[in-house]
Amino acid sequence: MARVAQARAKVVRNMGREDGARSAWDRLAHHGGDIAAARKLYPLAPTPWPDLSTGINPVPYPVGALDPDVFHALPGPDAVAVLEAAAAKSYGCDAEVSVVAAPGTQALIQWLPRLFPASRVGLLGFTYGEHGRTWAASGARIETVDAMDDLADFDVAVVVNPNNPDGRLTSPEALWRVAGRIAARGGTLVVDEAFTDVGAPGGSLVGALPPRTIVLRSFGKTYGLAGLRLGFGVASPVLATPIRDALGPWAVSGAAVAIGCQALGNAAWLAATRARLDGESARMDALLARAGGTLVGGTALFRLFSLPDAPALFDRLARAGILARPFAHRPDWLRFGLPGNEAGWSRLAAALGLA
């Protein structure tokens, strides 16, 4: 903990700010995407800020013109059912499962502890922090384990696959093995597949869902439309029904229904996007390696590096108006999303001293 405090204090001291800067630094280490906090920390940084602190596709799906009625009329259950069917087809879901549309997977993460109460919740490794926070807020005791098999004794087990922030992959076979042991005791496995769209085929569980398993699928990350707030829960009908009931009618907007149906049906766009992201993530690896970084892991949408004096590099990048993602418990780490254009790549290279 002393190392973390020293790293944070160094950044704050370098910028000559006081308590407001410390608070903003904590916010930046808590979540990616907080440009407002970055501006408070670095008011003199050039704009616009390339936000590399998230794992959102920087080249969004081309929405095009929408029928004005999608903003005027409430989206009826038939329209939502069409959206859920489009998601089921795009994801390759088993015909026996139910797909529930939600206003982003974060909404589902918030609801799960209320719908499936648990005394003990196990998380696989250091992972996306909202899972632990929401279950802890419900009164559950949270434990982090390093081995998949160690999750079998919990009431609820949570696996982010591929993992955020390090891209760790857990095989479907390992998930099935543990899911069976948890289900035999009446427990539930939650698998967050927020970044699986850009991974290798065959990594998702939705084509053959284990018993008492809930899979979360994000739309906004891969399609670069995080502000649309759309995600899906995939589960057996017995688990999906309480989720759908909790979300209530009109859980997703008319625009989300229209855009989701259009994008999820465009397999050619997704294939081209995967190829582009693979190339750009390799480009990021090469660039950060030249800056002295060691690749820890990642996905095609973000890369995690261990870097010499990472807090100082974070500070240098932020002074140049580029936001990377720091981690409070690992001050040697920085996570990088992808620039959206050549100007962004050039700006990053210049800030790294590699132009």
Distances (CA, A) of 260 to 54, 62, 87: 21, 12, 8
Residue 32's pLDDT is 87
Given pLDDT bands bounded at 50, 70 and 90, which one contains residue 355? confident
pLDDT tens for each residue of 155-212: 999 999 999 999 999 999 999 999 999 999 999 999 999 999 998 888 999 999 999 9
Residue 183's pLDDT is 97
Given pLDDT bands bounded at 50, 70 and 90, which one contains residue 9? low
Fold of 69-265: Aspartate Aminotransferase; domain 2 (3.40.640)
Residues in the chain: 355
The mean-pLDDT minimum among 95-104, 327-336, 344-353 falls in 327-336
Given pLDDT bands bounded at 50, 70 and 90, which one contains residue 3? low
Is there a contact between 86 and 219 (Cβ–Cβ < 8 Å)? no
222, 230, 228: which is closest to 299 by C-alpha? 222
Q: What's the whole-number mean pLDDT along residues 285-303?
A: 98
| CATH H-level superfamily of 2-59+269-351 | Aspartate Aminotransferase, domain 1 (3.90.1150.10)
Q: What's the whole-number mean pLDDT along residues 259-269?
A: 98
Q: In what order do the strands lie in the sheet with 156-160?
A: 98-102, 231-235, 213-218, 188-192, 156-160, 120-124, 141-145
Q: Where are the domains of the chain?
A: 2-59+269-351, 69-265
